[in-house]
């Protein structure tokens, strides 16, 4: 109690978001991760300025095939003579957009369902939502994603949908748990006592108080969505052929793994780096949003 | 007593919390009324059903497991329990406001206090955001907080100030009835006094009625016009402040007064009421207080006592008064 007051006095001048940012800044890992993410995002947005899609990304020059890294091609070239570095840069578009859009789908659906399940806990609404969530979660994620993509057809949009849908159960559960604790708080009862309607109570009073665990879950989930998307592309169920999705680059590289490993090494590193960055930011955010967890 | 003086009337209210394997009889056959502009104090120990009674006036009993089994609640002549959900949200905060026990947790941590006061005004008075916020600042001034602090968050306020904010929210729409559920329990004594003075002053200013729930007889003595004593879900005695404090009739009320420290004789030991409140899932057939009552006769345990009236509004639910010669032995009354 006393400590809480001390802390609040110390941060008197800062808003809540400012406080979180202040704590996040102290976390080196999270800042490195954030820097990587910002860089990746910039690369993805300005990929067209950095490389020429027609010439560098999908244009074949067979005489240059399977070259080792050199000045002209710093990461070498692939089996069709395309510059791996250029393809990686351009590929960040697919990986990041699939990760972000898939998680966005999952967040919207999962948070709304979870909020209702948590608010109407003990009733039939909760039973229906949670049992369906359980059924969804019982099917292995990859299997489910494969089924959805093969049913809808392999393209980028369907890849996003399938990865998004498989992430929904996690968000339902996270949100429900957070809503359950917040619903029991006295300020929610006060909100009822001033005549606030139920939907407004859920979306205006409860959900903003549940943001911390959801934000953390989002950053961590983006990284696994990128992995799922890459895995699906690796299996040939993702972004269609000439496009340089990192997973599908890995997949084509597999045939040359023994003699020419650069084709798998660099896309693999790119995936790893991105996932690591999101995970570090996620961990950092979790600490920053919940000061009680620290030390 | 003319009828149009009565603002709130609760009659034969029975509320149960029905769990799978047991039923908690939280409120049993409770009746009371509050006149316009008057304050009724509801006293009783923890678990006596005070808060449940208050919540049923707003129809906010957590359901499940709470069920209003029977009874009628009328506010200004209209039956509360027959209202639809939508009509109810129009009454909450507008006609009847409630202050909760713990100001630390009854403000939403993610909104500024100004926004939270403005919220009620936007719902009920139809004000737009900026007008509501200006009114919110005025409300803050009224409860003694500088208006510019409306932009701050709850964690930047102390406990006493938070309770002032809570009061500002409750009074924002000029309710006819304010329900205060142990408004000062979480505050220390000096702040308690300030908050009580503030509430008294505001009550006079706006002429609203108040239902004050507390277990502190000192607060009752200072603020209330009428007192109702609750025990195990029943109102066992009711009367004006003077009637209860000077001529308490029920042995439980007597016990409450006897367990207060005696300022005149500081060395004297407290005389607590022996025993504990009965388990609300297994209430005795007869008088719930009988097992702890020094005057209990065998019939008390068997028979449910009836209300015995002593003229005016004073009544008590105790079978012993069937014998007109019966009286409790309260020591310090006539000294």
Query: Is A190 close to B169, i.e. CB distance below 8 A?
Result: yes
Lowest average pLDDT, out of A59-63, A111-115, B58-62, B122-126, goes to A59-63
Q: From the CA of A153, how many Å to the nearest CA of chain B?
A: 44
Q: What is the mean pLDDT of the segment spanning A176-189?
A: 90
Q: Which of these, B222, B104, B117, B114, lies nearest to B167 by C-alpha position?
A: B117
CB atoms inside a 10 Å sphere around CB B144: 13
pLDDT of residue A175: 94
Cα atoms in the Cβ-side hemisphere of radius 13 Å centred on A183 = 21
The residue-averaged pLDDT of B43-61 equals: 87
The mean pLDDT of B236-250, rounded to a whole number, is: 89
User: Which pairs count as long-range contacts for B123-129, CB under 8 Å and 24+ apart, including other chains?
Assistant: B123/A194, B123/A195, B123/A196, B123/B89, B123/B93, B124/A195, B124/B90, B124/B93, B124/B94, B124/B173, B125/B173
pLDDT higher than 60, residue A176: yes
Highest mean pLDDT, choosing among A235-249, A267-281, B262-276: A267-281
pLDDT value, residue B295: 84
- Sheet of B23-35: strands edge to edge? B23-35, B6-18, B66-75, B78-79
Mean pLDDT of B71-82: 86
Residue A59 has pLDDT above 90, yes or no: no
Q: Residues B150-177: pLDDT tens digits?
A: 988 888 888 888 888 998 898 888 888 9
**If you measure CA to CA, which chain B residue comes closest to A11?**
B156
Burial zone of B252 (CB within 10 Å; 0-12 exposed, 13-18 middle, 19+ buried): buried
pLDDT for the residue numbered A167: 92
Does residue B160 sit in helix, strand or coil?
Answer: helix
Chain A nearest CA to B282, separation (Å): 25
* A191: Cβ contacts below 8 Å, ≥ 6 apart: A201, A205, B108, B119
**Is a pLDDT exceeding 80 seen at residue B262?**
no
Output the pLDDT for position B335: 40
A189: nearest CA partner in chain B: B106
pLDDT tens digits for range A127-139: 999 999 999 889 8
- Nearest chain B residue to A207 by CA: give it: B110
Collect all residues with Cβ–Cβ distance below 8 Å to A167 and sequence separation of at least 6.
Answer: A102, A103, A105, A106, A110, A141, A221, A224, A225
**Whole-angstrom distance between the N-terminal and C-terminal Cα of chain A?**
18
Q: Which among A283, A218, B262 is positioned nearest to A226, based on CA atoms? A: A218
- Assess whether pLDDT exceeds 90 at residue B282: no
CB contact under 8 A, B98 and A193: yes
pLDDT for the residue numbered A233 = 84
What strands, in cross-sheet order, belong to the sheet with B226-231?
B96-99, B177-181, B209-214, B39-43, B226-231, B234-240, B315-317, B307-309
B18 pLDDT exceeds 80? yes
Burial of B119 (0-12, 13-18, 19+ CB in 10 A): buried
Q: C-alpha angle with apex A106: A285 to A277, nearest 5 degrees?
A: 35
Give the pLDDT of residue A1.
Answer: 44
**pLDDT value, residue A105:** 94
Give B311 or B314, the one with higher predicted confidence.
Answer: B314
Question: Does the pLDDT at position A19 exceed 80?
Answer: no
Confidence of residue A36 (pLDDT cuts 50, 70, 90): very high
% of chain A with per-residue pLDDT over 90: 30
| Mutate: best of A181, A187, A191, partner B, most B CBs <10 A | A187
- The pLDDT score that the predictor gives to residue A291 is 58
The pLDDT assigned to A168 comes to: 93
Beta-bridge partners for B315: B238, B309
Chain A residue with minimum CA distance to B158: A5
Percent of residues, chain B, with pLDDT higher than 90: 14
Q: Which two tokens stand for residue A142?
A: 């990859």
CB A167 within 8 A of CB A225: yes
C-alpha–C-alpha distance, residues B199 and B96, integer Å? 15
Closest to B328 (Cα-Cα) out of B312, B313, B310? B310
Q: Residue A195 has which token pair?
A: 């005549």
- Arithmetic mean of pLDDT over chain B: 85
Listed range (A68-77, A209-218, B189-198) with the worst mean pLDDT: A68-77
Which residue from B85, B91, B156 is facing A12, i.e. has the nearest CB? B156
Please tell me the distance from the alpha carbon of residue A252 to that of residue A263, in angstroms, as a whole number: 8
Q: For residue A192, what pLDDT is reported? A: 87
Supply the pTM of this predicted model: 0.76
Q: Which pair of structure tokens corresponds to residue A131?
A: 């049992």
Q: Do A190 and B98 touch (CB under 8 A)?
A: yes
Would you tell me the crossing angle of helices A246-253 and A84-119 to the nearest 10 degrees?
130
């Amino acid at each position: 109690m006393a400590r809480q007051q001390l802390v609040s006095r110390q941060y008197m001048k800062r808003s809540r978001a400012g406080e979180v940012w202040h704590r996040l800044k102290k976390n080196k890992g999270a800042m490195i991760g954030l820097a990587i993410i910002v860089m990746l995002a910039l690369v993805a947005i300005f990929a067209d300025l950095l490389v020429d899609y027609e010439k560098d990304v999908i244009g074949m020059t067979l005489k240059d095939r399977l070259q080792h890294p050199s000045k002209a091609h710093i990461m070498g070239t692939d089996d069709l003579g395309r510059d791996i570095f250029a393809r990686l840069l351009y590929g960040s578009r697919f990986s990041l957009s699939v990760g972000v859009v898939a998680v966005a789908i999952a967040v919207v659906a999962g948070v709304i369902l979870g909020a209702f399940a948590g608010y109407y806990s003990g009733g039939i609404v909760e039973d229906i939502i949670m049992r369906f969530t359980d059924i969804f979660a019982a099917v292995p994620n990859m299997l489910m994603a494969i089924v959805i993509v093969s049913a809808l057809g392999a393209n980028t949009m369907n890849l996003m949908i399938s990865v998004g849908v498989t992430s929904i159960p996690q968000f339902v559960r996270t949100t429900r748990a957070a809503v359950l604790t917040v619903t029991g708080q006295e300020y929610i009862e006060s909100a009822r006592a001033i005549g606030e309607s139920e939907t407004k109570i859920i979306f205006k009073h409860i959900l903003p108080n549940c943001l911390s665990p959801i934000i953390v879950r989002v950053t961590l989930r983006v990284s696994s969505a990128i992995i799922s998307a890459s895995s699906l592309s690796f299996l040939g169920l993702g972004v269609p052929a000439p496009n340089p999705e990192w997973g599908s680059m890995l997949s084509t590289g597999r045939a040359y793994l023994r003699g020419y490993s650069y084709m798998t090494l660099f896309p693999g590193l790119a995936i790893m780096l991105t996932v690591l960055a999101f995970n570090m930011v996620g961990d950092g955010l979790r600490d920053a949003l919940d000061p009680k967890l620290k030390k | 007593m003319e009828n149009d003086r009565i603002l709130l009337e609760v009659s034969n209210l029975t509320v149960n919390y029905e769990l799978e394997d047991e039923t908690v009889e939280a409120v049993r056959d409770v009746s009371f009324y509050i006149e316009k502009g008057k304050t009724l104090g509801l006293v009783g120990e923890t678990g006596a059903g005070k808060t449940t009674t208050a919540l049923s006036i707003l129809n906010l009993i957590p359901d499940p497991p709470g069920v209003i089994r029977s009874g009628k609640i009328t506010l200004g002549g209209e039956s509360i329990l027959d209202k639809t959900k939508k009509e109810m949200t129009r009454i909450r905060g507008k006609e009847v406001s409630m202050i909760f026990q713990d100001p630390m947790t009854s403000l939403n941590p993610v909104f500024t206090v100004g926004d939270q006061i403005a919220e009620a005004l936007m719902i009920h008075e139809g004000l737009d955001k900026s007008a509501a916020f200006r009114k919110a600042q005025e409300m803050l001034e009224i409860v003694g907080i500088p208006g510019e602090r409306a932009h701050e968050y709850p964690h930047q306020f102390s406990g006493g100030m938070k309770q002032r904010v809570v009061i500002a929210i409750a009074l924002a729409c000029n309710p006819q009835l304010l329900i205060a559920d142990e408004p000062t329990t979480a505050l220390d004594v000096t702040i308690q006094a300030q908050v009580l003075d503030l509430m008294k002053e505001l009550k006079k200013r706006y002429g609203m009625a108040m239902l004050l729930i507390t277990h502190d007889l000192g607060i009752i003595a200072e603020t209330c016009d009428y007192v109702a004593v609750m025990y195990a879900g029943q109102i066992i005695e009711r009367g004006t402040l003077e009637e209860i404090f000077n001529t308490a009739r029920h042995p439980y009320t007597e016990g409450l007064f006897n367990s207060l420290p005696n300022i005149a004789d500081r060395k004297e030991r407290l005389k607590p009421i022996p025993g504990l409140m009965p388990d609300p899932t297994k209430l005795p057939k007869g008088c719930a207080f009988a097992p702890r009552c020094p005057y209990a006769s065998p019939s008390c345990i068997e028979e449910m006592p009836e209300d015995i009236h002593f003229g005016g509004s004073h009544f008590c639910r105790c079978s012993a008064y069937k014998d007109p010669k019966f009286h409790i032995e309260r020591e310090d009354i006539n000294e």
